[in-house]
C-alpha cells in the first residue's frame, strides 16, 4: 500500500445540518478520498475525479467544503488532538492542494 498523499486526524466532519464526527479522519490515497470516523468506519469515499473541494468565504478558518458523491461535507481541520492544535488554515490549504494535485495527475 502506498504512502497517503494527504492524511489528517481530528477532523470535524459535518453533513448539513448535523455533525457526523468531531474526531474523524480525511485520507487521500491511491486516487481516492475517504472520510472516516474516529473508529475507522467509512463515512463516504470516492475517486478524486468525482470530488470537488473549495474554501468558500463562509467556511471559516481551517474549514473546507467537499462534495463527495453529490453530498456536501464541511471539514474543519485542526481540531485539538492530544493537547496539540495544528495550524488549521495551513492544514486546510494542504488538503485543497492535495485534491487539486491528485485530480491533475490522475484525473
Number of domains in the chain: 1
Query: Is residue 79 domain-resident?
Result: yes
Cα–chain-centroid distance for residue 74? 8
> In the prediction, which pLDDT does 60 show?
78
List Cα–Cα distances, 7 to 16, 17, 96, in angstroms. 23, 25, 12
**Cell 474526531, located at residue:** 23
Query: Is residue 70 domain-resident?
Result: yes
CATH number where 77 lies: 2.30.29.30
Query: Is residue 1 domain-resident?
Result: no
Query: Is residue 60 domain-resident?
Result: yes
Higher pLDDT, 45 or 88: 45
pLDDT digits (tens, 9 = 90+) for 62-92: 899 999 999 999 999 876 555 555 688 888 8
> In the prediction, which pLDDT does 82 show?
56
Give CA–CA dist 65/2, Å, rounded.
26
**Which residues constitute the domain of residue 24?**
6-106
Give CA–CA dist 61/66, Å, rounded.
15
Query: Is residue 41 domain-resident?
Result: yes
Q: What is the pTM of this model?
A: 0.85
> In the prediction, which pLDDT does 91 show?
87
List Cα–Cα distances, 64 to 18, 39, 58, 96, in angstroms. 16, 22, 9, 8
11: its cell numbers? 477532523
> In the prediction, which pLDDT does 6 show?
92
Query: Is residue 82 domain-resident?
Result: yes
pLDDT digits (tens, 9 = 90+) for 6-36: 999 999 999 988 999 999 999 999 999 999 9
Query: Is residue 25 domain-resident?
Result: yes
Query: Is residue 36 domain-resident?
Result: yes
> In the prediction, which pLDDT does 70 show?
93
Amino acid at each position: 500500500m502506498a504512502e497517503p498523499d494527504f492524511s489528517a486526524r481530528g477532523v470535524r466532519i459535518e453533513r448539513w445540518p448535523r455533525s457526523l464526527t468531531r474526531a474523524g479522519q480525511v485520507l487521500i490515497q491511491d486516487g481516492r478520498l475517504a472520510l472516516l470516523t474516529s473508529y475507522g468506519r467509512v463515512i463516504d469515499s470516492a475517486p478524486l475525479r468525482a470530488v470537488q473541494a473549495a474554501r468558500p468565504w463562509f467556511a471559516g478558518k481551517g474549514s473546507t467544503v467537499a462534495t463527495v458523491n453529490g453530498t456536501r461535507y464541511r471539514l474543519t481541520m485542526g481540531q485539538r488532538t492530544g493537547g496539540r492544535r495544528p495550524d488549521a488554515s495551513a492544514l486546510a490549504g494542504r488538503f485543497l492542494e492535495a485534491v487539486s494535485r491528485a485530480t491533475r495527475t490522475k484525473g
